[in-house]
A and B are shown apart, each in its own frame.
Chain A
Amino acid sequence: MDFLTDPFIVVMLWLYRLLGENLVLAIIVFTILSRIITYPLMRQQLKSSKRMREIAPKLQALREQYKGPQNREALARAQMELYRQEGINPMAGCLPLLIQMPILFGLYGAIYATLATTPLQFLDIQNRLLIPELSAMLPLKNQFLWMNLGQPDPYFVLPILVVVSTWLQSKIMTPPVTDPNDPSAAVSRNMTTIMPLMVGLFSISFASGLSVYWVASNIVGIVQYAMMGQVDWRNVFSAPKPAPAKAVAAPKSNAAPEPRRQERETAKTPATVSKKRKLSETMQRPAALGASSVSQPAPSPSRKSAPPKSSKARKAKK
């Protein structure tokens, strides 16, 4: 991993010198720079995710249509055909994430290495300085407020900030639930809760400089997401609630239609629900009631959703 980390160590030390030997500032600027560099990848990833969400109803319809293990191959073929028709590469959402990983590793390793506070950590740095003159910078001044940035925060302020900012980011970036029966949706919801707690737990034992990185990274991520117009604050402040279903025609389906779930949910919807959401449900209800097929999840109600595509899907089937 050194080949990933060592160039980042040089950048980190260079920033530290440039920013008046302020380690916290260096970590923050370092994080912002890395986020800017990986921004195109992140944008591509989000675009891909958005496209996948848009065709989610069609995928769901296919899954309903080809139920059972005996139809697995047929389902796969139909899904690939759908991707081809829509011009979507299903790998496109993950590749940018995979490409970002080495950068994340390098960044993280560099911050950890430069925060060295024990003799062995120091010994290791010496062989990793691509520019030997930078050793004059070491050790870095690691006192910030009440903290030694090379040690865990004794008052747990940073771990709490890590938990809050990670939760906020994952809440904002997690797409709304499109199908409450989809087990992956439940996993996704759980991860939104578990991940921040795990990161927070880790940060209790980590050098607090790494927690500074996590917090800065989360905040920059939220800002970037907002700049792309993807943030829906209601997703943060409202309790997780499945979006109303939308019908998509699937004529060959053998499955029994789900009995008016949307109506039940509409009845359960509190009066505080947004106008936009109500509008979305109103638009979808006739299709759901009138369809002889299964009900389908809708795209996020928070977004400017496209009109129901059931007719288009029907055409495609024909």
Chain B
Amino acid sequence: MNAHLSPFSQLSRAPFRAALLLVSLVLLTSCTALVLPESWAGLTVDGTLQDGRYVDARYLYVAYRDVVFRIDLTRDAAGRIIEPNQRATDRFVDWAARSENNGQMFAAPALEKREDGVRVYVGSYNHAVYAFAPDSGVRNVPLANWRAPVGTEKVIGEALVHGDRVYVGQGDKGIKAFSTVTGALVASFDGTDFGVWSAPVLDEERNALYFGSMDRHVYALKADTLELLWRVDVGGAVAASPLLHDGVLYFGTLTSELIAVDTRMESRLPITNQSDRILRRYKTEGWIWSTPTLVNGTLYFGDLRGYVHAVDAQTFNPRWKATDPERRGGIRGKVAVVDGRVIAGSESKYLRAYNAESGALIWTSSPAEAERILGDVVVVGEMVITTTKSEERLVVAYDLLSGGRLWSVRKPSQDDVNRLAQAPR
């Protein structure tokens, strides 16, 4: 008993308290407090989208943390051409580059096809948009003569390239347009109260640029000058790009609503809040953080409570909604709709395919190993491809028919980036 007495007598002394405070502080800070620049990998397919499926796609472009890289879908990990019966073979990373000063890049790379090869634009948490030229001599770093400073905040959303302009939203507020030729600032709009975390969509016919902001508004700007045309208070933050179809914008909010806004009507309200443009609202279980997919008059999308919804685009009447109660996880990414199947990736580490007509579950994929699926889902040929939070299996491909895993690609290391820069073309 006496052995226990001595420590008791020490408990109230200052060093003990100081040590307790120090340990608590370290625990607090190590658990929570550092401002970590975090998001999920951005994925872009170099191909033509037809009926929900990319055809003629050869490359996947991926941005994650300080690296942007390209996967050649036609070659295996050793660089050999893949035969048709070798679908389950790991793919070849044929190009990788790092940002400047360890700037973090999570947005899906925006592609511009040029005569001298493709150019890749990626926004960074390092307050800049970088341009990369994978097919040029400068392979593992951004182009030195093209750098678009955005301001003092990070770039979270992907860029939109159109003509000779790159449009990009800022993490804190506003949107900017840069010249694709020089990187110089061409136009700017700072009228949002919070950041723009997704790419704008362009209406060429009306010379308008539409985007949602985290300040709970949807904006329409003149595409050339970035002057405000109108905005609508939608009551919740808009984190993903809207879908523009027949003059109607469809988008989800972080107040768990799918909303349709008319872009063509003549509103009589002040341009600062033309709420009469709102056509319909549809309430969901969880936040909507993805762009809906429209197929045959039905909007398909997931919410962060793990439900996949099918909603009539004209009336917003629900057609079906589905979830897996046993392995429920939020659906952050855009769903793919191909061959009558709706394929959604979830935070529960699984992909699921549902019947587009009935919502019946067709298959559940093999788990994406250790990490949750947060990226968009794309279909290339007969492969379903998405990104995970695991650096070892950053990009994962599944079989469209069965959901079986085909291959995966890890995030390139610093050595990989250097090696690829030296590799012969």
- List the interface of chain A (C-beta within 8 A of B): 1, 48-49, 52, 59, 72-73, 75-77, 79-80, 83, 90-94, 97-98, 101, 104-105, 108-109, 112, 117-123, 126-127, 132, 135-136, 138-139, 141, 143, 148, 150-152, 174-175, 184-185, 187-188, 191, 195, 198-199, 202, 205-207, 210
> Given A127-B330, A136-B235, is A120 in contact with B14 using a C-beta cutoff of 8 Å?
no
A174 to B17, CA, bound (A): 10
> Given A77-B2, A202-B29, is A175 in contact with B35 using a C-beta cutoff of 8 Å?
no
A132 to B239, CA, bound (A): 17
How far, in Å, is B284 (CB) from chain A's closest CB?
11
Is B21 part of the binding interface, using a Cβ–Cβ cutoff of 8 Å?
A: yes
> Given A175-B14, A202-B33, A206-B34, is A119 in contact with B197 using a C-beta cutoff of 8 Å?
yes
Q: Are A148 and B14 in contact (CB under 8 A)?
A: no
Q: Are A135 and B236 in contact (CB under 8 A)?
A: yes
- List the interface of chain B (C-beta within 8 A of A): 2-3, 5-6, 8-9, 11-18, 20-22, 24-25, 27-29, 31-40, 106, 153, 156, 171-172, 193-195, 197, 214, 216, 235-237, 239, 254-256, 286-287, 289, 304, 330, 332, 374
Q: Are B5 and A91 in contact (CB under 8 A)?
A: no
Q: Which of B12, B18, B172, B214 contacts A148 (CB 8 A)?
A: B172
- Residues of chain A contacted by B286 (CB below 8 angstroms): 126
A174 to B235, CA, bound (A): 50
Q: Are B14 and A184 in contact (CB under 8 A)?
A: yes
Select from chain B the residue with minimum beta-carbon distance to A129.
B287
Q: Are A91 and B36 in contact (CB under 8 A)?
A: no
Select from chain A the residue with minimum beta-carbon distance to B39.
A119
How far, in Å, is A187 (CB) from chain B's closest CB?
4
Q: Are A104 and B28 in contact (CB under 8 A)?
A: yes
Select from chain B the residue with minimum beta-carbon distance to A188.
B14
Q: Are A119 and B11 in contact (CB under 8 A)?
A: no
> Given A139-B237, A199-B25, is A191 in contact with B106 using a C-beta cutoff of 8 Å?
no
Q: Are A117 and B14 in contact (CB under 8 A)?
A: no
Q: Are B237 and A52 in contact (CB under 8 A)?
A: no
Q: Are B32 and A77 in contact (CB under 8 A)?
A: no
Select from chain B the residue with minimum beta-carbon distance to A113.
B32
- Residues of chain B contacted by A132 (CB below 8 angstroms): 256
Q: Are A76 and B32 in contact (CB under 8 A)?
A: no
Select from chain B the residue with minimum beta-carbon distance to A151.
B35
Select from chain B the residue with minimum beta-carbon distance to A115.
B35
Q: Are B2 and A108 in contact (CB under 8 A)?
A: no
A118 to B153, CA, bound (A): 11
> Given A108-B28, A135-B236, A136-B255, is A75 in contact with B6 using a C-beta cutoff of 8 Å?
yes
Q: Are A122 and B239 in contact (CB under 8 A)?
A: yes
Select from chain B the residue with minimum beta-carbon distance to A109.
B32
A121 to B32, CA, bound (A): 11
